[in-house]
Structure 1
């Protein structure tokens, strides 16, 4: 009897460990915190009613190849992942925004929780006339990234920073950060609302 109880408890421990490995932050990878991303705003409790992303801010992973491929329009901020669809909800344009200045140097920062061989980091910005009250589409973005940082397959550190010059814009915009992984078919997506 004692042997059966020990085996049962051991089996529960293994099942629990397997569950931990396949769910939650064990699959997390990275997100931008400068400018602060929507997923971090949910994760730190600044924005409420965020669903699962509040526990998994670094997990916004989707197909790579943006903008030719990748998440479909209207699902870009969630990386095409329906579990995180709250990130695609424009909330009437009321997402908190980081104040920035066009034409000025800015240091972008990613927090990396699981390192991957990296192709590059790319930063896109919305066009003039962007409506922050609507879900993000490719047509809303300038077609070329304003900053591309090649990484040549190297592994990033736990914090990655990139200095770049912000485009000349005014009003509310959105910056889309895309971290492209070299050895998988995926990339990580981070939407940051900004006000110029």
Structure 2
């Protein structure tokens, strides 16, 4: 091996680790959240409410299936569980369309919607990968007044789900 080639390899080997640690890290390009009406993480991303790191990753509220928390059990997103924050409450009728925005589209078992801890709707995903946005119309029946709606996207091929809470006033 000639001298110039060895020198180039040595310089490259010395610079490569510096480049790796100095390049900016982009957030995970995953997964999904309710964008309309604005969920708590959508409000954080828009700067409506000050809520820490979820501002940069509204789509990342992921946790094991079966949870009932807005944060999906993720401590770094605990602000989403804080009911004392000034969350914007959206007035809705007894039938409302919810729109999910996906940044990574996973095969879907189902979507579930809860009010007062009771399931009010479940939409089958048939194991299919959704498009970039999906809308569901949920009928709340006789549920009225200020509610925290828990929307859950259950993934078909993992033990995880994505969580979003939406503050509404059902009139």
1:124 aligns with 2:114: yes
Could you tell me which residue of structure 2 aligns to residue 98 of structure 1? 90
Structure whose residues are more often strand by fraction: 2
Distance apart, 1:15 and its partner CA: 4.8
Rg comparison, structure with higher value: 2
Task: Figure out how many residues of one structure are paired with residues of the other and give that number.
Answer: 164
Q: How far, CA to CA, are the matches of 2:109 and 2:160 in structure 1?
A: 11
> 1:85: which partner in 2?
78
Say yes or no: does 1:45 pair with 2:47.
yes
**Residue segments in structure 2 that go unaligned for 5+ positions in a row:** 1-6
2:50 matches 1:6: no
CA distance in 2, matches of 1:193, 1:77: 11
Measured in 2, the distance between the counterparts of 1:150 and 1:15 equals 43
Query: 1:120, 1:149 within 8 Å by CA — same for their partners in 2?
Result: yes
| RMSD of aligned Cα (Å) | 2.0
1 CA distance for matches of 2:76 and 2:121?
29
1:162-181 to structure 2, matched below 5 A, reads 162-181=136-155
Once the 2 structures are TM-superposed, how far is the Cα of residue 79 of structure 1 from its aligned partner?
Answer: 0.2
Normalising to structure 2: TM-score of the pair? 0.86
Structure 1 counterpart of 2:4:
none
Which SS does the other structure have where 1:8 is aligned?
A: helix
Tell whether the 8 Å contact from 1:178 to 1:189 is kept in structure 2 after alignment.
yes
Do structure 1's residue 61 and structure 2's residue 87 form an aligned pair? no
Q: Are the equivalent residues in 2 in contact too, given 1:25–1:59 (CA < 8 A)?
A: no
Offset of 1:107 from its aligned partner? 1.5
Structure 2 distance, partners of 1:77, 1:157, is 24
Which ranges of 4 or more aligned residues in structure 1 deviate by more than 6 Å? none
Is the 2:29–2:103 Cα contact (8 Å) retained in structure 1?
no
